[in-house]
Amino acid sequence: MIVVSDYLKGVVSQGVMSAIIQIAAERRIPVLVDPKIPHIGYYRGATLVTPNHHEAEVAAHMRIRTPDDAARAASVFKERVGCRSVLITRGEQGMCLLDGTEEAHFPAVAREVADVTGAGDTVIATLALTLGTGATTAQAAWLANHAAGVVVAKFGPATVSPQELLEAIVKA
């Protein structure tokens, strides 16, 4: 599994992404990307891209207000980027997954939101770990949604422990 978190700091370039995606494809290694809009053209061929709702709106040239809007935006995003799957993180509206042609929506599970710093990082890390165990993309997104719900309840950049994640799932 290769995870790329693009922070627009100069590390992720067209050449770097092309090499990553080519080498990963040759070895059948999934590539997961937490994107930034200025680099949207770099991610062609990625396995899964995880834009937040603002990034998805910009890339799809549409507003996302409803689950149907999110599904349409995911489809447009997927076609524009040329990736296999898209998971749009929608904050208090949960998540929208378009995996191939299968659509799934996950309601937000956070009880209280203290700080959203690092929520996207938590999502992509949980996706990668869960997919690495052989889970489906939908199963991984479901777990990532719960992990993000734990992290946003904490102040500042935070982590989620296996115990915290298990407790959050049991409470849900």
Report the catalytic residues: 121
User: What 3-state class would DSSP assign to 154?
Assistant: coil
List of residues 6+ apart from 163 with CB closer than 8 A: none
State how far the Cα of 120 lies from the Cα of 111, in Å rounded to an integer. 18
Nearest one of 169, 26, 32 to 97, comparing CA atoms? 32
Q: How far apart are the first and last CA of the chain?
A: 29
